[in-house]
Amino acid sequence: MMLEIPEVLSKHEVRSLRALIDAGDWVDGNETSGHQSRLAKNNEQLAQGSDAARQAGEAVIAALNRTPLFIAGALPRNVFPPLFNRYGKGQTFGAHVDNSIRALAGTEFRIRADLSCTLFLEEPELYEGGELVVEDLFGEHRVKLPAGHAVLYPSSSVHRVTPVTRGCRVASFFWMQSMVRDDFSREQLFRLDTTIQRLSAEKGGEDRSVIELTSLYHNLLRRWADI
């Protein structure tokens, strides 16, 4: 399941975050790449572990935690500390698959990467190219969202970033381990959750159908969740 998540950050929050990271130290993007990704990747990355990266990552996590659509779609168990990258003219990231296990260097923190997320931090009209392209059985899905919007997609997907031909593409990216590791099950829970919310708004939380569907949701989550 691919899911667009609008307005994770407000425009003011994007400007504050950009001021923080733009003043930070940027390094070769292959600092965190696996072997296969190194062959395809050409970008810059905010130095992992720097004060700017830590503060910006905490701001992104705080924003995600107050975004109900993200919680409903991801059902996150653990989120890898957000990273930040930028692509200037001619830079790109060819087709690749994210590593199945992500470990935080120097710590015992590691997750199974079930889901990947890109949070856009530059307005789309300010750069050309730089689309996120995610492949699945239905073909290619091209994503280029307003600053502050995010897209969630399975880490198992083959994906790429097209070459930037003008301007600079800036984004945060990270992975998460979901409480529900199976993408199909997670999608069904998301559909059920959004249906419950819609019916609750129409009929009220005490409506019998809302109660029954809520019971079904939690019993399925109880059956499928790994915590």
Identify the sign of the CA torsion 62, 21, 146, 189. negative
193 is in an annotated binding site: no
Return the number of other C-beta atoms located less than 10 Å from residue 44's C-beta: 18
12 is in an annotated binding site: no
169 is in an annotated binding site: yes
96 is in an annotated binding site: yes
Q: 49-86 b/e with 16+ CB inside 10 Å = b?
A: ebebbeebbebbeebbeebebbebbbbbbebbbbbbbb
Report phi then psi at 124, rounded to 5.
-65, -25
Tokens of residue 93, six digits? 């990231």
Residue carrying structure tokens 């945060």: 172
Task: Collapse the DSSP code of 140 into the 3-class scheme (helix H, G, I; strand E, B; otherwise coil) and give the result.
Answer: strand
Tokens of residue 130, six digits? 């730089």
Annotated binding-site members for 2-oxoglutarate = 169
Annotated binding-site members for Fe cation = 96, 98, 159
Annotated binding-site members = 96, 98, 159, 169
